[in-house]
Amino acid sequence: MDDKSLQILSYYYIVMNDQLDKIKEYVNDVAYNGKNEFSLNLDKIIDSEFEKAFEILDEFDIIKYLEEKYNMNYEKPKLVILENDLSFTAEYSDFENKISFSKKSVDRKIDKQLEYLGYKEIKRSISDIKGIEYLDISYNSIFLYPFYINEKDIRKAIAEAIILSIMFHEIWHSIDFSILRKLVGDSSIKDMDYFIILKNLELRASAFEVVIYYLANGFHNDERGYIAAYRNILTCREFIDKLERKGDIYTDVPYDIGFCYGNIIVAKYGPSLKENIYKIIDNIIHLNKEKAIDEIKLYGDNPEMLLYD
């Protein structure tokens, strides 16, 4: 990495950490006990984020684009909400074409984020925090994820951000399986290719989740949003280094690598994410781990390539 690249990355890193510090300071000022009176109606939120996710996919004609391209009829999955399952947060069943969400797991995730942001419990509906905050979406590394508060209760804002993001991930699985089913009928695809395609399900879903989450929220047009992507790229580059040092690059880490790839796309396209969304989705459909790692190395080592005028 040359000096200029380092300077650019250091700049984003400092801006980002400075913002986080300010947020934490502020949040600590308003922290207090009394969570119960603010417990959320998660059924309602999960239901409405499910509908919202499809409205956004419609708005950008994403399903229509893929239906035409692959000559397929996509069937919207059913949504099932579970009370107490802690073995997963959400999952997609291709067999039943069903997305399941566990309320208890979502609740735990919200608590984890509140703690990360410096809350213990919440005093009241915090209607005076405006603007943006950052979730810590950790798999094996710490990734930051922007979300808007916009005069909402912080717990509700976090819930909506987490649920919408995961919703896109699960919906992608359902879209992906529709495409795969179509490809099964294509005799030009060999058995080995199916194996490669099936192997990268989580990689693709995680990459799609990030890209569409940014697009849905308009973070591609908000510098405070996509600086999080720049910052994550640094983490991603270190993550790949660590895997390589351990001789571990082939270990199964599809969520992390997919998330990193999504962040590269967000940083690479910035405000032109929307105009390029079909091309980006085509690339995600053909994404494999090696391609994703190549991109992470390329842009991680040459971050100046990510800056646009």
Applying CB under 5 A, the residues found at the interface with Zn ion are 202, 205
* In the complex, least distance from residue 205 CB atom to Zn ion, rounded to whole angstroms: 5
* In the complex, least distance from residue 49 CB atom to Zn ion, rounded to whole angstroms: 16
The two three-digit tokens of residue 270, written as one number: 């910035």
Residue 159, CB-side half-sphere exposure with 13 Å CA sphere: 26
* In the complex, least distance from residue 236 CB atom to Zn ion, rounded to whole angstroms: 19
* In the complex, least distance from residue 103 CB atom to Zn ion, rounded to whole angstroms: 19
* In the complex, least distance from residue 113 CB atom to Zn ion, rounded to whole angstroms: 20
- Phi–psi pair at 47, nearest 5 degrees: -55, -45
- Which residues are paired to 91 by β-bridges? 100
| Residue number, 108 or 130, with CB nearest to Zn ion | 108
- Phi–psi pair at 140, nearest 5 degrees: -95, -15
| Residue number, 49 or 202, with CB nearest to Zn ion | 202
- In whole angstroms, give the CA distance from residue 20 to residue 26: 10
Nearest position to Zn ion, beta carbon: 205
Angle between helices 154-184 and 191-199 (to 10 degrees): 180
| Residue number, 117 or 167, with CB nearest to Zn ion | 167
| Residue number, 162 or 306, with CB nearest to Zn ion | 162
* In the complex, least distance from residue 173 CB atom to Zn ion, rounded to whole angstroms: 6
| Residue number, 171 or 228, with CB nearest to Zn ion | 171
The 3-state DSSP class for residue 302 equals coil
| Residue number, 11 or 88, with CB nearest to Zn ion | 88
- Phi–psi pair at 132, nearest 5 degrees: -120, 150
- In whole angstroms, give the CA distance from residue 166 to residue 75: 19
Which one, of 216, 219, 92, lies nearest residue 144 by Cα?
219
